[in-house]
């Protein structure tokens, strides 16, 4: 495993982080039990992964708590999250979010989390977060229930990273979670430069998600983008549109290419991977630990996809149990 420093937090974190949400939710999303989910966490830890990202909303905190029991707490970096609102219109107050933090600590069976994030904050919600919630959380930080404060964007509703752009105006955020992948590159201009300047740690989600993992999905999306004139027609006509990445010295497969692409972006700290299949843990970690893609491949990715926004940011579940 390779480790890096998560920005100004000073936390030493594995460059591969286990994400406990997404469609899989450690297998809970496919109907597996908590024992199965625990096994995935433990397998990741045995690979050297020390960064685990969960959330009350995922329902995976109890499995994480059970999986880390008996491991030295200071060898782990645990991140959890609480939403500021739900799609049904429910809006959480600062007091309710703090009560949620207490529930998370009980579920995780720990006295503190290393990173506590406000989850899926949409651009129109940020002003309230900054005015009403951030000051309360900064005061609460002094009590030791969490060490560092983070914020995550709601990628499907924020393709231009407007929440992060607003958050840079406040100095309270130590960590940011954002979407970045081969067909969604605009964080290179809109997030990473300011995050590096301010020493903010970054957690990358969507490096591999539905667009790369569901059979046929990448081809269908690229075909549609070509139809809309957002990509060249010849690319839409190809059966394997990213086959230029698969060659000696390049990537073995598209998923490996996607992980390598995200991992080596300047300003990236932790690339999150999620799975419901314990046999996928080691291949995902190996992919993240591979060297950068060849310069010629990176150039072609930039030329073909650099202008795209809002592509592949959905939460569609895989077509089959995995």
Report which of 92, 103, 80 is spatially closest to residue 152, judged by C-alpha positions. Answer: 80
- Beta strand spans in 25-174 (E): 51-53, 77-83, 113-121, 146-153
The closest of 17, 34, 109 to 68, measured between CA atoms, is 109
The closest alpha carbon to 181, from 312, 283, 286, 12, belongs to 312
Catalytic residue among 3, 57, 58, 92: 58
Q: In b/e form, how buried is each residue of 80-101, taking b as 16+ CB within 10 angstroms?
A: bbbbbbeeeeeebebeebbebb
Contact status, residue 149 vs residue 173, Cβ threshold 8 Å: yes
Instruction: List beta partners, residue 12.
Output: 5
In the chain, the N- to C-terminal Cα span, in Å, equals 25
Radius of gyration of the chain (CA): 19
CA–CA distance, 222 with 232 (Å, rounded to integer): 9
57 is catalytic: no
Give the list of residues 6+ apart from residue 20 with CB closer than 8 angstroms, or none.
Answer: 26, 37, 41, 52, 53, 54, 55, 58, 60, 63, 64, 274
Q: Which residues are catalytic?
A: 58
């Amino acid at each position: 495993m390779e480790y890096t420093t998560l920005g100004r937090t000073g936390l030493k974190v594995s460059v591969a982080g286990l994400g406990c949400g997404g469609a899989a939710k450690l297998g809970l999303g496919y109907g597996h039990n908590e024992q199965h989910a625990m096994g995935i966490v433990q397998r990741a830890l045995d690979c050297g992964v020390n960064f685990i990202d969960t959330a009350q909303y995922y329902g995976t905190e109890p499995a994480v708590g059970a999986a880390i029991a008996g491991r030295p707490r200071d060898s782990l970096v645990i991140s959890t999250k609480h939403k500021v609102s739900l799609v049904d219109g429910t809006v959480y107050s600062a007091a309710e979010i703090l009560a949620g933090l207490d529930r998370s600590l009980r579920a995780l069976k720990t006295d503190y989390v290393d990173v506590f994030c406000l989850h899926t904050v949409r651009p129109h919600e940020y002003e309230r977060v900054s005015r009403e919630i951030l000051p309360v959380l900064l005061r609460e930080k002094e009590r030791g229930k969490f060490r560092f404060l983070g914020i995550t964007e709601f990628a499907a509703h924020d393709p231009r990273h407007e929440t992060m752009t607003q958050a840079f105006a406040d100095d309270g955020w130590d960590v940011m979670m954002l979407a970045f992948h081969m067909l969604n590159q605009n964080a290179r201009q809109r997030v990473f430069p300011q995050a590096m300047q301010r020493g903010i740690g970054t957690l990358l989600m969507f490096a591999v998600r539905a667009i790369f993992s569901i059979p046929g999905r990448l081809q269908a999306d690229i075909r549609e983008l070509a139809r809309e004139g957002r990509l060249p027609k010849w690319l839409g006509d190809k059966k394997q549109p990213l086959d230029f990445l698969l060659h000696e010295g390049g990537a073995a497969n598209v998923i490996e290419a996607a992980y390598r692409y995200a991992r080596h972006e300047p300003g990236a700290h932790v690339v999150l991977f999620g799975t419901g299949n314990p046999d996928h843990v080691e291949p995902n970690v190996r992919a993240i630990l591979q060297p950068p893609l060849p310069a010629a491949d990176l150039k072609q990715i930039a030329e073909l996809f650099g202008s795209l926004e809002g592509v592949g940011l959905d939460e569609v579940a895989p077509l089959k149990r995995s």
